[in-house]
Amino acid sequence: MAAPGRSHVSCPDGAPTMVEMSIIYAACVAGAIGLLFLLPRRGNRWWPIGAVLGGGALGAGLLALARGPSAGAGVDVFFYLLAFLAVGGAVRMITHPRPVYAALYFILVVVATAGLFVQLAAEFMAFALIIVYAGAILITYLFVIMLAQEAPDDRHPNTLTEYDATAREPVASTIVGFVLLAALLGMMYRGTGAMPAHAQAHAPADVELAVLLGKVESALRKTDLMRRGERVGSVDAAQRTATLISTSPESPRLVPLPADLHVDNVDSVGVSLLNEFPVSLEVAGAILMLAMVGAVVLARKERLDAPHDSQSLIGNAPHDSQSLIGNAPHDSQSLIVGVGGERS
Amino acid sequence: MTEPLSILALNHYLLLSAVLFVIGFIGFLTRRNLIIMFLCTELMFQAAAIAMIAFGAYHGNVQGQVFLIFILTVAAAEAALALALVVMLFRRRPSLDAEKWSELKG
């Protein structure tokens, strides 16, 4: 969090000054007190104080970031907007006494986070986050909330249950949390201040084109550079040329790549995923499979009238199919033959 | 890909990540509803995801994003199992109060 009074000369590398650190800690204290007033309890009449304090701490922090010396950090106004949405949604999520609203506020946080990912040129992860989190996980949460909600009183269905309406040890939790936050921020600024401005040289652009032969080929086919019967043999991403091979005598042939052919975010994520981490990809699939089976086993309801083991089920089966055959009309001869064949 | 992040912009994202993580942490400690507690762990996941993508952008490679794909997978698996456990606990004792299960402590 950059203080407005920070001088450019004394710390060009992002290391904080004493003023800056004290502003960070003051914002932490104000945020802690604000959150304390906002946490749910019965007859909470002090929540406006909490809203003012917490919103003030958040707004002051964001304003200090936006107007301070780090204003030219390559972060535009959408970062501040999305950060405000994310933090506000998160605070409302943990302070709203009704679980469904908490889940809806978490969707707001997810969407704001996806917007931040777009700011960071991670478009694929932004959409994956919205699809997986807001689309799948949160819907599951909403279903479970609605299935597992107990009505505290049939005559007053809108009253809150005791455990939703009151927080558990709010003072101790808030103090612990914000001490952790202050320590994290202090360490973070000291640590990143010691880091080099850019950790490593940026990789040359479009280097993944050398393995994306299909993309190069479809881009070349849209132009007139490629003839019938030719295919892309290899791509030199640095020189931006492709070698075309065919059965004709002038093969191999060198053609330039189209100027608008670039590797986008999905391409580079896919190349990295399949070239560098193929085993992890398989393990991730196995984890999803195991989780699906585990969830089905855990959430299955034991039925009292169901047969206890599969043996008795099999034992009943011929009898059932027999009666089915007996009742079946005569024109379903093939079905009877099929069932009989299965039994033998 | 675009230009790598500067260190000041990285600080912006790490700050937001730390704030979101701590809010999720406080929510996990204070709320007593089992489902809300799991939602707060998901909030902490979000904070970690922001930090990972920001560091990936700072280093100018996509490995942060690839790692986040795996984290998203594990988060989805964890959510499915956790919600199945919540449903199982709710059937056994029809309340979502975490305090009702306090005899489980050692």
Using 50, 70 and 90 to split pLDDT, how confident is the model at A316? very low
Number of domains in chain B: 1
What ipTM, to 2 d.p.? Answer: 0.93
What domains can be seen in chain A, in order of their start residue? 18-193 (1.20.120.1200), 207-266 (no CATH)
Per the domain annotation, does B105 fall within a domain?
Answer: no
In the predicted structure, residue A53 carries a pLDDT above the cut 60: yes
Reading the block at residue B7, the tokens are 């260190």
CA distances A250 to A53, A223, A225, A244, Å, are 76, 20, 14, 10
The b/e string for A167-182 (b: 16+ C-beta within 10 A; e otherwise) is beebeebbebbbebbb
Residue B44 contacts A, CB cutoff 8 Å: no
Residue B73 contacts A, CB cutoff 8 Å: yes
- CA angle, A169 as apex, B42 and B17 as ends, to 5°? 30
Beta bridge partners of A256: A241
Other C-beta atoms lying within 10 Å of the C-beta of residue B52:
20
Quick check: A169 and B29 CB within 8 A? yes
- Residue A256: φ, ψ to 5°: -75, 150
Using 50, 70 and 90 to split pLDDT, how confident is the model at A324? very low
Q: Which domain holds residue B79?
A: 7-96
Per the domain annotation, does B92 fall within a domain?
Answer: yes
Per the domain annotation, does B69 fall within a domain?
Answer: yes
Quote the strand ranges of chain A, DSSP E: 231-236, 241-245, 253-256
Using 50, 70 and 90 to split pLDDT, how confident is the model at A306? low
Reading the block at residue B11, the tokens are 């600080």
Per the domain annotation, does B103 fall within a domain?
Answer: no
| pLDDT (0 to 100) of residue A283 | 94
Residue A18 contacts B, CB cutoff 8 Å: no
In the predicted structure, residue B27 carries a pLDDT above the cut 90: yes
From chain A, the residues in CB contact with B79 under 8 A are 137, 140-141
Quick check: A93 and B75 CB within 8 A? no
Per the domain annotation, does B72 fall within a domain?
Answer: yes
For residue B73, the distance in angstroms to the closest alpha carbon of chain A comes to 6
* pLDDT tens per residue across span A134-180: 888 999 899 888 887 766 566 666 677 778 888 888 899 999 999 99
Per the domain annotation, does B2 fall within a domain?
Answer: no
Burial class (CB in 10 A: 0-12, 13-18, 19+), A299: middle
Per the domain annotation, does B35 fall within a domain?
Answer: yes
Interface test with A, best of B3, B26, B74 (most A CBs within 10 A): B26
Quick check: A150 and B94 CB within 8 A? yes
Per the domain annotation, does B101 fall within a domain?
Answer: no
Contacting A residues, span 33-52, partner chain B, CB-CB under 8 Å: 35, 39
- Judge whether B12 and A70 are in contact, CB under 8 Å: yes
> What does pLDDT average to over chain A?
77
Interface test with B, best of A42, A75, A94, A297 (most B CBs within 10 A): A94
| pLDDT (0 to 100) of residue A326 | 45
The CATH number for B91's domain is: 1.10.287.3510
Using 50, 70 and 90 to split pLDDT, how confident is the model at A317? very low
| pLDDT (0 to 100) of residue A153 | 60
Beta bridge partners of A254: A243
Residue A259 contacts B, CB cutoff 8 Å: no
- Judge whether A180 and B24 are in contact, CB under 8 Å: no
From chain A, the residues in CB contact with B25 under 8 A are 177, 180
* pLDDT tens per residue across span A217-241: 888 888 877 777 788 888 887 778 8
Cα B97 to Cα B31: distance, rounded to the nearest angstrom: 9
